[in-house]
Chains A and B, each alone.
Chain A
Amino acid sequence: MSDAKNGAWVGPESTLPADELADRERQLALVDRVFGLEAQLAELSAENSLTPSERLRTEQRLIEMQGSLAWRLGRAATAPLRVAQRFVVRARAR
């Protein structure tokens, strides 16, 4: 298949019948689409798709994050809000 524009380079080039090239590129696009959807699906159950080492590393990152100054400051800053939220939930439950 050749679709040269005006001013484009000329001379011998490798070509394929247009439908054959389109079929090959469509095949790649379709397989990629399936991979993309499978990956998104796996994301929804990411916990199950992690290896033991990855799971341990993720847990460790969580522990480190929860021990960080930024996390503790954030928790302290939002504490009144969380207490108020608890009161609201209890009040609605009555």
Chain B
Amino acid sequence: MIPGFHEVSHERLGDYVVLLANGATLEPGALEEVAAVLTRFRSQLLYADSREGGVVIRRPAFSPLRLREQDYLGPLRVFSRAALELDPSDLTEVVHVPRVLSSATLATVPEEPADPATGAVERRPDGTRRVRYPVQGEPLVSVIIPTRGGRAVINGHDRVLVVEAVRAIVERSSYRAFELVVVADDETPQAVIDELRAIGGDRLRLIRWSDSFNFSAKINRGAAFASGEYLLLLNDDVDPVSPDWIETMLGLAQQPGVGMVGALLLFEDGTVQHGGHLYRDSWAGHIALGWPVHRDDRLGSMRVTREVSGVTAACALLSAELFWRIGGLSSVFAGNYNDVDLSLKVRSTGASVVWTPDARLYHFESKTRDAAVAPSEISALRQRWGSRLLTDPYWSE
């Protein structure tokens, strides 16, 4: 798999092989550091942070789906001899050393990732790749939308959010095997209900919600009625931009090891609302919040599908089997952090959470929204997941 290495006799190789990109040098003590880590942890592949063109490049924890679209491993990589012949995205024991172990005066040229076994590869204008994972079969997707029929002025037009969201899904989504499970508060205006029935037709399941507000419980109520093999949790204030958003997320969710998939969400003004979750310093937030859509980090993380610590439940797709296996959304988190908890529950099963820029939606949440977080929610989150909220393995900036 490594260019040129098929010409080297394996008998002449040691247990580990250090590969250094052309033009890069090792930092003092780098090999000792590598040896120390390899002594502590079994590893098929080890990579590290680097300094390129004078700038420190921090790298994420092992992200196999990302690796298929972007070689983010950097100039130094250490393979076990047995792993040399394998596609790095198929490896299971991979260690990232969060220290600068190599330097290059210029940015090193990434390697072309191997073509995946499944999926069509397209080259993006910036040199990265997009892997389209075809949907296996035509599974029914239940789109669960909790609502109370609220209105907002979007682009100067007064609109009923859930009506326009449902209309956009029905009229503009290229994936057609879906049902709409709308969990509507008692207070939802009758005209909104009537319009939803007219737009949704046979696809629509209307579920009544008569209790006090609890976002998690409303989603769980929807799941109890859903008959889809996959559940797509969706806020009522969204508007899909990519017609193929459902199949993009579904194709990823069907990949081995993937538990939940999230999307690129944009504010009304086109800036980023959600680029994945970021957990750091006992706090949870959104990656790239408020960034112009073309802004990026040094690695180009916003351009590629990648593993993340979590995704927002404003738009998240997972299998119904997994949803039920992990107990759905926790009603302990009535209004906030329910998606953080859900993401960490998914990851605790060993599955990954993935974010993709190729499923793009507007999310008309106010930029200045100040969510009232109950102290009990923060406390419960830290009790459950305290150590998982200290550092984010997938986002280093």
Report the Cα distance A13→B331, complex, angstroms. 24
Q: Which residues of A contact B192 (CB under 8 A)?
A: 9
Chain A interface residue count: which class?
35 or more
Given A9-B193, A14-B205, also A31-B325 (CB < 8 A): yes
Contact A50 B384 (CB under 8 A): no
Report the Cα distance A50→B220, complex, angstroms. 30
Judged by a CB distance under 8 angstroms, whether A57 is at the interface is yes
Q: Which residues of A contact B187 (CB under 8 A)?
A: 7-8
Report the Cα distance A88→B37, complex, angstroms. 41
Report the Cα distance A9→B189, complex, angstroms. 7
Contact B387 A28 (CB under 8 A): no
| Contact residues of B: prevailing secondary structure | mixed
Report the Cα distance A39→B349, complex, angstroms. 11
Report the Cα distance A49→B348, complex, angstroms. 10
Q: Which residues of A contact B194 (CB under 8 A)?
A: 11
CB B182 to nearest CB in A, in angstroms, measures 10
Contact A58 B186 (CB under 8 A): no
CB < 8 Å neighbour of B61 from A13, A16, A32, A54: A54
Given A3-B210, A11-B194, A35-B345, also A52-B40 (CB < 8 A): yes
Which of B94-102, B118-126, B169-177, B237-245 contacts the other chain? Answer: B94-102
Report the Cα distance A27→B217, complex, angstroms. 13
Contact A61 B344 (CB under 8 A): no
Given A28-B328, A61-B391, also A9-B188 (CB < 8 A): yes
Contact B327 A14 (CB under 8 A): no
Given A5-B210, A39-B384, A46-B387, also A52-B43 (CB < 8 A): yes
CB B2 to nearest CB in A, in angstroms, measures 22
Judged by a CB distance under 8 angstroms, whether B284 is at the interface is no
Report the Cα distance A51→B197, complex, angstroms. 49
CB within 8 Å of B: which A32-89 residues? 32-36, 38-40, 42-43, 46, 49-54, 56-58, 60-61
Contact B331 A29 (CB under 8 A): yes
Judged by a CB distance under 8 angstroms, whether B223 is at the interface is yes
Q: Which residues of B contact A27 (CB under 8 A)?
A: 324
Contact A10 B186 (CB under 8 A): no
Judged by a CB distance under 8 angstroms, whether A91 is at the interface is no
CB < 8 Å neighbour of B224 from A7, A16, A39, A57: A16
Report the Cα distance A38→B345, complex, angstroms. 10
Q: Which residues of A contact B37 (CB under 8 A)?
A: 52, 56
Contact with A along B236-264 (1 / 0, CB 8 A): 00000000000000000000000000000
Contact with A along B211-247 (1 / 0, CB 8 A): 0000001001101110000000000000000000000
Q: Which residues of B contact A53 (CB under 8 A)?
A: 61-62, 94-96, 98, 393
Report the Cα distance A4→B224, complex, angstroms. 18
Q: Which residues of A contact B383 (CB under 8 A)?
A: 40, 43
Nearest 8 pairs of A and B residues by beta carbon: A32-B327, A31-B327, A8-B186, A46-B387, A52-B41, A28-B328, A24-B224, A39-B384
Additional A-B contact list (5), CB under 8 Å, known A5-B210, A24-B224 = A40-B384, A43-B386, A52-B41, A53-B95, A54-B61
Q: List 26 A-B contacts (CB under 8 A).
A: A9-B190, A14-B207, A16-B224, A21-B221, A28-B224, A29-B331, A31-B326, A31-B328, A32-B329, A32-B330, A32-B331, A36-B330, A36-B380, A39-B348, A43-B384, A43-B385, A43-B387, A46-B387, A49-B387, A52-B37, A52-B95, A53-B98, A56-B98, A57-B96, A58-B391, A61-B390
A residues touching B (Cβ–Cβ < 8 Å)?
A: 2-5, 7-14, 16, 21, 24-25, 27-36, 38-40, 42-43, 46, 49-54, 56-58, 60-61
